[in-house]
Amino acid sequence: MIGIGYDVHCFADNRPLILGGVEIPHERGLDGHSDADVLCHAIADAVLGALGEPDIGHFFPPGDPACKGISSLKILEKCRERCEQLGCRLINVDSTIIAEAPKVLPYRDAMKEAIAGALGLPLARVGIKATTNERLGFIGREEGIAAMAVAMLDSH
């Protein structure tokens, strides 16, 4: 079973930038009800999609006070639990962060560790890549960051 996920958030002042569960030094963070971690959100949607489930907004509604500021690693943990409840196991995830700035590859290993831990995967089964949008569109104008991901699952 394979699922695909995509997420995007615009930059906001006075917020930390969290990607893959890691705080990355930058003058702005991402706007959102949770920690606005676009990478974890894309991975969560990929996992849920592979299960045939609704997206993360169904399980973690943006207006729910209980989700305010929640770590997106907790969202990934809940996705892993949902896999287990439905008799499935994660095989791997692969993802791409799309951003002009900041450079995120120096933080890739830390992100892989955080995501692997939340999903119960070996490090070698978590792929994280980064690219720019070649200065095109809202990402190119440094107005936000996007991420896409795929997840493969197996049923027991």
What does the alpha-carbon distance between residue 45 and residue 56 come to, in Å, rounded to a whole number?
A: 6
Give me the residue spans of the domains in the chain: 2-155
Per-residue pLDDT tens digits for 103-154? 999 999 999 999 999 999 999 999 999 999 999 999 999 999 999 999 999 9
Helix (H, G, I), strand (E, B) or coil at 103: coil
Q: How far is CA 63 from the centre of its chain?
A: 19
Per-residue pLDDT tens digits for 110-121? 999 999 999 999
Q: Does the pLDDT value for residue 61 go beyond 90?
A: no
pLDDT of 68? 84
What is the average pLDDT across 59-86? 91
Q: Which CATH class is domain 2-155?
A: alpha beta
Peptide bond into 122 cis (omega under 30): no
pLDDT of 67? 79
* Residue among 88, 95, 148, 105 at smallest CA distance from 126: 95
The residue that leads in pLDDT, 61 or 39, is 39
Q: List, as one string, the DSSP characters of 22-71.
A: EEE--S-EE-SSS---HHHHHHHHHHHHHTT---HHHHS-TT-GGGTT--
Percent of the chain with pLDDT over 70: 100
What is the average pLDDT across 81-109? 96
Its pTM stands at 0.96
What is the average pLDDT across 21-26? 97
